[in-house]
Structure 1
Amino acid sequence: MTETPVLTGDRLLDGLTASIVERGYRDTTVADIVRHARTSKRTFYEQFAGKEQCLIELLRRNNSDLIDGIRAAVVPDDDWHTQIRSAVDAYVAHIRARPAITLCWIREAPALGVVARPLNRQVMSDLTELLVTVTENPGFQRAGLTPVSPPIALILLGGLRELTAFFVEEGRDVAGITEPAVAAATALVAPPPD
């Protein structure tokens, strides 16, 4: 019985995830990935050109899950403060469940250079668009708030990524980023004082 490519690809991504948790991305080899996936190198190379492409696909899916989780957590009609907290809580829950993968997204993907640039740009574009869209929700409109601009959203995201990396690299509980993230997001969208 031949496995379908989707199931094989999923198993390989799970194998890469297990190896990253066990050894880190840089020390992971294709042999490690296939050992965790319980498949062969031949099968791996039928799906991916190398471990870099496997990582890019893993991060693409991980970031898609992150965005979907945030989108599902935010209730557009809620008060804008509640929406910000819901978005941050969903982000933190995602990171807490996958700290090693998150660190790969922040540190390893940019190190791949030009091959990962489309992924990095797409993810930041998608996250920026998500923040702009959230701040257009009825809860923000009722408060008379102007939606954040893409550059402001990108500044917030860049700072949040670096804070996240700091906590993960230090082995700290990522829940510690919740209050600073909520405060920063609130400050960026709140109306200026009179």
Structure 2
Amino acid sequence: MPETVQGGARHRGTQTRDRLYEAAAALFVERGYEATTMADIAERAGASRRTAFNHFPSKSDIPMLWTRRMADIAVVEATGASDEVPERIRAYLHLICEMVQAEPELSRQMMLGWTAALGPIRYESQLLADLTPLLREGQARGQVDRGIDVDVAARTLSDMFMGATLRWVRERDRLLQDTVDEGVELVLAAVRPRS
């Protein structure tokens, strides 16, 4: 198949996936995650059920895409925030917090979907793919203690963020950003190079 034909098919596939995602997000806010079916999502997006299942084999894949989309935006924007790795980690998590807080009901429904699908048990955090290389870069630059296990530090940041988000979705007694900022500072203090 010529490259231009493949590129066009890939673009249409991305557009269809985006339409399905947007339909799902709107329906989750309107009806709730549990009350929304893949058939509902396909109908709202103007696609067949088969097409919906081709893009999202399980409804639980949609919250995973929600997380990945926010992380992708945050990693690009945080890259230019500073040359200092700790500052980029702060910026990255801050941006994700802003996106979560900007759409509280969507965030609530996506988190409900993620936990209903046993996301915390079945899947690694999407944040690990971004935080681990940042922390490794910090070690290489002398901004993160070389004796720190980067995988443990990344997992701790990710777990703190996810736990804070789950609490915020349930209680909303304070800004998510405040809780995450406090947790980030604790972890960054623990990984700071020893003099």
TM-score by length of 2: 0.71
Q: Distance in 2 between matches of 1:76 and 1:112?
A: 34
Q: Distance in 2 between matches of 1:85 and 1:107?
A: 26
- Deviation track 1:126-162 (CA, whole Å, cap 9, x = no partner) reads 5224222112336972446326421232122112201
- 1:134 alignment partner in structure 2: 134
Could you tell me the percent identity over the aligned residues? Answer: 21
Pairing 1:1-194 to 2, within 5 Å after superposition: 4-30=12-38, 32-34=40-42, 36-37=44-45, 39=46, 43-48=48-53, 53-56=58-61, 58-72=62-76, 73-75=78-80, 78-104=83-109, 106-113=111-118, 117=122, 120-121=123-124, 124=125, 126-137=126-137, 141-143=141-143, 145-146=145-146, 148-171=149-172, 172-191=174-193
Q: Which runs of 5+ in 2 are unaligned?
A: 1-11
Moved over 6 A (4+): 49-52
Q: C-alpha displacement at 1:35, in angstroms?
A: 5.2
RMSD over aligned CA atoms reads: 3.4
The one-letter code matched in structure 2 to 1:188 is A
Which SS does the other structure have where 1:136 is aligned? helix
C-alpha distance 12-25 of structure 1, shift in aligned 2 (>3 A):
same
Q: Matched residue pairs, number?
A: 180
Q: C-alpha displacement at 1:177, in angstroms?
A: 2.8
- Deviation track 1:49-68 (CA, whole Å, cap 9, x = no partner) reads 79871441x23332322332
Q: Distance in 2 between matches of 1:28 and 1:76?
A: 38
Q: Which runs of 5+ in 1 are unaligned?
A: none
The one-letter code matched in structure 2 to 1:10 is D
